[in-house]
Structure formats: C-alpha cells, structure tokens
Amino acid sequence: MSSMTTLEKVYDRVESMARFHEDRLIPVDDVSFADLERVCISGATYNLRPIAQQSICYRLGIPIHYLRKCPVDIQQNNLNYWIKHEKNEKLFFRFDQGEVRAIFTPRYVPTDNKEVLDRLLEHGDFGIGTVEGIDGEMMVLDGVAYRAGTDLAPETVPAGTLIPFAMLTYFDETVSYQLSEELNYTTFKDRLDDVLQVQRLVVGPGAPREVELHLGEPPLA
C-alpha cells in the first residue's frame, strides 16, 4: 500500500518543513507595524497572515473588524500606539515561509517537532492519539498512523500532520485471528464478540487480566 504514511515519513516531512518554519521570541521594542497586513521586526518587513492579524489585534485590544475598515495610516497609528503598551517584553512569533503565521504571548515557547516525533517513536509501534485540530481519532498499528472521523472510516494520516497527543507501546499479541473479508463496523463488532467468547476472554471493568487481540491487517476501504 504505497499511500501508507509511517511515523518515519512524518518525521521526514517535519524535517523538510523545518527549513521554512521558525518560532522566535521577539523583543516588543523591535516590533512596529506598517499596517494591519505588514509588521516590521528589527528593520525587516513580514506579511501578517489572517490568523496573525487576529491574534495581534486581540492581544492589543483592537477590534479587528473596525481596524480592517480603517485607512492604512489609522491602522498603523493604532497598532504602533498599543504595541508600546504591551506588558510583556517579548512576544512569540511563528514564521511560515517568510510570513508571520501567528503571534502569541511568551508563555508559548519554540518547540522542535522533530524532537516530539523522536520521543514518540521511542515508545512503540501501537497505540492511540489525536491529530492537529483534534480532527478525529488517531490509531497507530505496526508503526503506521491511521485517522478515523465520525464516519468511522480509517484513512492513513497525511505526511506532515502534527500529532499533539499520542500513547504508544510495542505490541505483543496474545491471541491471533485472521479476517478473510472486509467488514463494516457492526459486523466487525459481532465477529470480535464471537472471538472473545470462543477464547473465553473477559474484557471490561473488573477483568482479571489485560487482553490484547491481533486481528490481522485492517481493511482500509
């Protein structure tokens, strides 16, 4: 299945993206604004993406819908006046391919996503988690990351997707049962119940022991 995305491929994607993405703590004294769409940092001008525009306006207490309707000089005067009243000495700037993607308080710190993925891979090839934006549930099987949304249809996690939360272990099967055909969710659940009954396994609160069941390669279609 050539479309599969392994965590190693996600690592490679993050490493590639790192050449164009950067997080920096910028001294407020080094920041000024040409208008709502452009910020000057230590003499260099960067475009502000919509999220960055919203975050700085919220931070400075300026209604963004009002500011967008103002002439450029009014935008400049408002932003440069209120940035001087910022209580933090530094602000967290997230850069994306030469533009400012977002602006946060210094409570956020620069994080290397490659380090996050390195730590994740150290802990196993089987587990659960979530993907960026809490967009569905993530499952990791044999080192391959899958995502399932509300339709319960699994799909491989696209390369470059950030993983804010995951719990992994190295899978060690205790019972093996091979599926010979593709099943929908209801049929799969019934089949799983049959297997557990045949094996006389108890699963649920108060179970006398933990059971891990390997069901072969999951159908992705």
Domain boundaries, the chain: 7-14+112-169, 20-104, 175-214
| pLDDT values of the chain reduced to their tens digit, one per residue, 221 residues | 445 555 556 656 666 655 667 788 999 999 999 999 999 999 899 999 999 999 999 999 999 999 999 999 999 999 999 999 999 999 999 888 889 988 988 887 655 555 565 566 677 888 888 776 666 788 888 877 788 877 778 888 765 567 777 888 887 777 777 778 888 888 888 888 877 765 554 444 444 444 444 444 444 44
pLDDT score at 215:
44
How many Cβ atoms from other residues are within 10 Å of residue 54's Cβ?
A: 14
Query: Could you give the C-alpha distances from 205 to 190, 202, 208, 210, in angstroms and in order?
Result: 20, 9, 9, 10
Instruction: Supply the pLDDT for residue 40.
Output: 96
Q: Using alpha carbons only, give the angle 55, 58, 62 rounded to the nearest 5 degrees.
A: 125
Q: What is the pLDDT of residue 125?
A: 82
As a whole number of angstroms, the distance between CA 156 and CA 114 comes to: 20
Q: Please, are residues 127 and 142 in contact by the beta-carbon 8 Å criterion?
A: no
**pLDDT the model gives residue 50:** 93
Phi, psi of 167 (to 5 degrees): -130, 120
Q: Does domain 7-14+112-169 have CATH number 3.30.1330.80?
A: yes
| 132 vs 137: CA distance, rounded Å | 10
pLDDT of amino acid 53: 94
Bridge partners for 145 per DSSP: 140
User: Residues in the chain, how many?
Assistant: 221
Burial of 73 (0-12, 13-18, 19+ CB in 10 A): exposed
Tell me the C-alpha distance between 127 and 138, whole Å: 8
